[in-house]
Amino acid sequence: MDNVFDSLIHNKSLIIPVGVWCIAQGMKLFITLLRDKRLDFSRLVAMGGMPSAHTGLVCALATTIARTNGVDSPLFAISAIFAAVVVYDAAGLRRSVSIQASILNQMIDELFKGKPVFEQRLREFIGHTRFEVLIGAILGILASWLLTI
């Protein structure tokens, strides 16, 4: 069992991306504190917002694999394609869902003024802006690059 634990904690392709995800989620907490002047611990696990933790994670994964296994390795090819799908999803599809949820919430508010019809609103912060995705990608690539020297 000790060998498994030792192998896991020394696996850069696991530890660096997870660390980047934790840093990105922590940044969301800090940004919310600066912007809204309140400490919202739900930001540590929330989707959406600045920076994109999912993008940071997959970019760190692909970069770590590129640096440790080479860009000609099948593992890099898999991780790069996986990263591309996640980034596209974060800035494309999930962003569209966020916008639609916001519009639907507004429509419901206007249609049923003063009469609560639904107790639960649609979650509006699901996707990311292109800038949030870009910052997540830069965070993941830069952290991985520095930690795999």
**Residue whose structure tokens are 């508010």:** 109
Bigger pLDDT: 54 or 42?
Answer: 54
**Single pTM value for the model:** 0.80
Q: What is the mean pLDDT of residues 52-65?
A: 96
Q: What is the mean pLDDT of residues 38-59?
A: 86
SS3 of 68-91: the string is HHCCCCHHHHHHHHHHHHHHHHHH
Chain segment 81-134, per-residue pLDDT in tens:
999 999 988 877 766 777 777 788 777 777 777 666 666 676 666 667 889 899
Q: Tell me the backbone φ, ψ of residue 121, rounded to 5 degrees.
A: -85, 160
The C-alpha atoms of residue 84 and residue 144 are separated, in whole angstroms, by 17
